[in-house]
Amino acid sequence: MGTKYTFDTKLMYLDTNEGPNSLFGMGNPLLDISAVVDKDFLEKYGLKPNDQILAEDKHKALFEEIVKNFQVEYHAGGATQNSIKIAQWMIQEPHKVSTFFGCIGEDRFGEILKQKAEEAHVDAHYYEQTEEPTGTCAACITGDNRSLVANLAAANCYKKDKHLDLEKNWSLVEKAKVYYIAGFFLTVSLESILKVAKHAAENNKLFTMNLSAPFISQFFRDALMEVIPYVDVLFGNETEAAMFSKEQHFETEDIEEIAKKTQALPKVNMKRQRVVVFTQGKDATIMTRGGDKVEMFPVLKIDHKDIVDTIGAGDAFVGGFLSELVQDKDLEDCVKAGHYAANVIIRQAGCTFPDKPDFH
C-alpha cells in the first residue's frame, strides 16, 4: 500500500500525529514595536494608514521617534514567525511541532526574540551575525488601521550556505511535512526558498506561501513567479490578490476570478491540486482548489468595539490554518481554525494571544 491521496476535502493522508518539527517556517524575524500614533505622524513619514512597506532612509528616525513620543509595546514578530508561533499555540502539545529559521543580530533585541520563541514553544534556530542589528518593525496604529514599516536589518542577512545548508539545520527541514514561507522572504533569499520548495515537491510534501503585501507582487514579481509553481497552498488578502492580478495581466478585479486564474497557474508537483485562499477582512474568505468552484467561508462575527487592532490578523489566519493542515484535517477545518485564530488576535494588542485556545 502506498500513501493515499485525495483532493476532496483533504490535501493528504499521512500519519496524523504531528510530531516535533512537523511544521517548518523560514522568514524575517523582527522585533515588533507597536504604538497608537496620530495622523500627523503618518503624514510626516509619508505613510498610508493601512499599508506595509520596507523602511527607506527617510524612515530611519521613525523608530526612535515612535519609542520616544508614544507608548510602545514590544513583541516578537515578523510575518512567518507570527504564523508559526500561532500554529504552535493552536496545537499546544507536543511543544516544538513548529520550527523556525531566520537571521538576527548578536544583540539585546536578538536575545529577546530567542526568549520569546522559547516561551512560545517554537523550535527557533536563528542564524546569528554581527554585521547588522536584529530587525524591527514599527506598527503605527490609527483607529482600526495599521501601517507597518519594517527595517529588516539582520533579517536581510540570511545566508543559505551559512545556515540552511548545514547538516544539523537541513535535517530539521527534512523532518517537516508542511512548509510555510511568507512572500516577504523573497526579498532576502530566493535560493533558500527554492531549496525548501524543491525538497517539498520532490517528496510530495506541502509547500505553502503568502503573497504578503502588494509590493511583493509588484516589485519582486520575477522571484515570486519562480516559486509559484511549487506552491500547494497560496494565501493572500484582497488587496494583495488585486495587485497580483494586475501584475499577471489577469485583466480582472473580481476576487473569485483571480483565485481561479491563480489556482490554474503552472505547477511542478501534479499529485496535488493547488489551493488558493484569499481573506477579505470582515467579508467572507474564499477558497478554490480547482475547477470552476469557489467556496465562500463567512468569518466569525465580532463587535466593532471588541477590535483592539488588526495587526497580525492575516498571520493568525495562516497560523490557524497551518495548525490543522499539519494534523491532516479537512480544508474546511483549516479555514475555520484560521478564522478562529484571527478572531482571537484582533481582540489583543499586536500578535499576542491568551494562554490557551478554545477552538475545538
**Strand 23-26 relative to strand 98-105, pairing:** parallel
Q: Report whether the peptide linkage leading into residue 94 is cis, meaning its omega lies within 30 degrees of zero.
A: yes
Dist CA 87 CA 235 (whole Å):
15
Contact 88, 122 (CB under 8 A): yes
Secondary structure element (H or E) that encloses residue 178, with its range = strand 178-182
Q: Hey, which residues does 52 pair with through a beta bridge? A: 148
Q: Which amino acid is at 273?
A: Q
Q: Which of 315, 330, 355, 358 is flagged as catalytic?
A: 315
Dist CA 330 CA 282 (whole Å):
23
Contact 316, 342 (CB under 8 A): yes
Q: Is 306 tagged catalytic?
A: no
Contacts by 57-63, CB closer than 8 A, 24 or more apart: 59/149, 59/151, 60/151, 62/138, 62/149, 63/33, 63/136, 63/138, 63/151
Positions marked catalytic:
315
